Amino acid sequence: MHILELRNIKKSYFLGKEEFPVLRGINLDFDKGEFISLLGESGGGKSTLMNIIGGLDRNYDGDVIVDGIPQKRKKKKIWIAIAGIR
């Protein structure tokens, strides 16, 4: 089991009725102790993805699973597993 799993993460921003997709079906797995780097162009969705992982943005499609627990089902809590406090 992975410590963090991202499954089909999708996120769009809207300006009026116009939709601007930022994340399109992101699937990633992270194991305990891994060091990960996130690279991309300006406006490519790096900060948006980190906000979703950190629980700051809950308006997205897909699943963020921390230590086997889907995070959309939890109330707002600090994600201890991501902070490395285990």
Judged by phi (left if over 0) then psi (alpha if -120 to 50, else beta), residue 7 lies in: beta
pLDDT at 16: 96
User: What is the distance between the alpha carbons of residues 86 and 81, in angstroms, rounded to a whole number?
Assistant: 6
User: pTM of this prediction?
Assistant: 0.80
pLDDT at 46: 96
Reported as a pLDDT band with limits 50, 70 and 90, residue 80 is low
* Segment 18-75, tens digit of pLDDT: 999 999 999 999 999 999 999 999 999 999 999 999 888 989 999 999 999 898 755 5
pLDDT at 35: 93
